[in-house]
Structure 1
Amino acid sequence: MVLYTEQLILTREDIVMKAAVSFVHAVCHAGASLDPEIFHSDECSYFESLLFQRRKSNFLLGRLSAKQAASLLLSESNLSNISVETGVFGQPLLRTTGAPGYQVSIAHCDDIGTAVVFPEAHPMGVDIERISPNRNKTMESQLTMEERERIVAVRGVEEYSVLLTVSWTVKEAISKILRTGFAASLQVLEINEIRFKSGCFQSTFSHFPQYAAQSYRLGNYIFTIVAPRKTEWSMNMSRLYEQFNSIFHPSCL
């Protein structure tokens, strides 16, 4: 089920580019197979080779969300002409028929997948994570002492688990751009500042000042996109919230 797709206008001082974001919701049942009208034959073969149900679910969510975003951005209605391969560092690599020069960042949590497709000249990263107080200690372990002090000082937000999840997704998203994952030291991905304004968490980085993050709460989830800091972009959040109301309780949005 496609929850939401939107084309993003990326405005910089000297150029305007386009990207696209998508959200999908899918439950991968045991014994399920991929639709060959949507998935490339190589994707179908790889899916069948996976032994664990969770890996199959993550594969389905990531590829389906990537295809939906690429389809919107590149005007490619045949989703089987869009595929996602895996690089040597585990990064997704977008492959399309007749439209080179674009890449993708994907994320998934529970039964939700999201992706952003962007020009190679304009790197972006995405992440989504469920807010869970039970994971507070795990998320704290990825923060420096300075970061812990900064997040509790954020005005307008009292839920500590929300702030931890924002920090986690911000670091995950930029690590996808850098292709390091959390293998990098805590200091390398350090968040310099988090602000909360008009429903959006805005973050910057101590060692990568050329990037900035925007994070939003979607029900019990935090969704984050990291992009070049001097790029102006926005999403139609009221429309996105409306689409999510079919799954998430409105009071959580």
Structure 2
Amino acid sequence: MYKGRVLLRREYNNFNAGFCIINKNLQEFIIDTNLLHPEEIEYYKTLRFERRKLSYLLGRVSAKKAILEFLINEKNGQHISIDFGVFKFPVVKYVKNQNVQVCISHCENVGVSLAFPEKHPLGIDIEKISEDKIKTMKSIISKEEQELISKISLSISVGYTLIWTIKEALSKILKTGLTVDFKLFEIKSLEKIDTKYITTFKYFTQYKSTSSHVNNFVCSVVSPKETKCNFDHLWKALENTINKGHIQQKI
């Protein structure tokens, strides 16, 4: 497990965000269930399938750890509950005097979360590169986006997964999930700077995305365009998490 803070620098104000990245199987989570609020424990008991149990714990535990990193003075994640909104976005409950929001993503045994102030939205998504998903991903990628992928010499599988994670992360900021046409999230520009990918949007011009490709995973973070974000610790944590060992197959 890796966790830390991210500095979000604006022209007239700075913000902080907390992050946590986990690589665990279901059995390893036994020691972390004490982070769950009684409401979350009751929900967890209703889950029948191990894969669903794992995804729930990856999300809730990484989110709690990210929130504790963000709040600093809060030490007990059990007092905090993360509920579902009407479009299944996470809602943080029982945090006093703080408008805390959280964004969660998980894939196989990897869970990643960002905790941030309501004043400064963030979105994150992680996906494993898989040939089986290419057909589905192609349905949300325009001809212009395919050309952007070609210009920076990305393979189809990496390029499609990259754009998918970017659009998923933006949808989480907007709290729409899959309820809108992803064509509205069309990419305007895509460039590679050092080892990261920087993206802007055609219609949502107030946002940008920063993405990292580590082995067979792609992770993207969407943030306000004018914010200067230092994600170095987050990307290093991602590399350490993915390289921890082989990622176990889905349960």
Instruction: Tell me, yes or no, whether TM beats 0.5.
Output: yes
Q: CA deviation at 1:5?
A: 1.1
- Tell me which amino acid in the other structure corresponds to 1:230: E
In structure 1, C-alpha distance between the alignment counterparts of 2:166 and 2:88, rounded to whole Å: 19
Which of residues 179, 194, 197 in structure 1 aligns to 2:175? 179
238-247 or 131-140: bigger deviation: 238-247
CA distance in structure 2 between the partners assigned to 1:243 and 1:59 by the alignment: 19
1:54 equivalenced with 2:51 (yes/no): yes
Answer with 51-60 or 39-48: which moved more. Answer: 51-60
* Equivalent runs, 1:39-188 vs 2, <5 Å: 39-75=36-72, 76-154=74-152, 157-188=153-184
Q: Which residue number corresponds to residue 233 of structure 1?
A: 229
Counterpart of 2:35?
38
| Matched length | 243
Distance 1:148 1:23 in 2: 30
How far, CA to CA, are the matches of 1:56 and 1:34 in structure 2?
15
SS at match of 1:94: strand
* Higher fraction of helix: 2
> 1:17-58 CA distances to partner (integer Å, 9 max, x unpaired)?
1001110122125xx878553111110000001223222111
Aligned-partner SS, 1:183: coil
Q: In structure 1, give the amino acid aligned to 2:98.
A: P
Determine the C-alpha separation between the residues in 1 that align with 2:214 and 2:246.
8
Alignment partner of 1:18 out of 7, 12, 16: 16
Partners of 1:21 and 1:115 within 8 A in 2: yes
Task: State the TM-score, normalizing by the size of structure 2.
Answer: 0.90
Classify the secondary structure of the residue corresponding to 1:188: helix
Superposition deviation, residue 96 in structure 1: 4.2
In structure 2, what is the Cα distance between the partners aligned to 1:166 and 1:158?
10
Letter in 2 for 1:170: I
Give, as a single letter, the amino acid of the residue that structure 1 aligns with 2:34: E
The AA in structure 2 aligned to 1:98 is K
The separation in 1 between residues aligned to 2:241 and 2:171, in whole angstroms, is: 28
**Alpha-carbon separation, structure 2, partners of 1:239 and 1:188:** 31
1:7 aligns with 2:5: yes
Q: What is the distance in 2 between the residues matched to 1:195 and 1:248?
A: 29
The alignment partner of 2:226 has SS state of coil
**Structure 2 gap segments, 5+ residues each:** none
**How far apart are the structure 1 equivalents of 2:122 and 2:87?**
17
Q: Does 1:217 align with 2:213?
A: yes
Letter in 2 for 1:212: K
Q: Runs ≥4 in structure 1, deviation > 6 angstroms? A: none
- In structure 2, the CA distance between the partners of 1:182 and 1:243, relative to structure 1 (3 Å rule), is closer
Q: CA deviation at 1:72?
A: 1.0
Q: 1:144 touches 1:186 (CA, 8 Å); kept in 2?
A: no
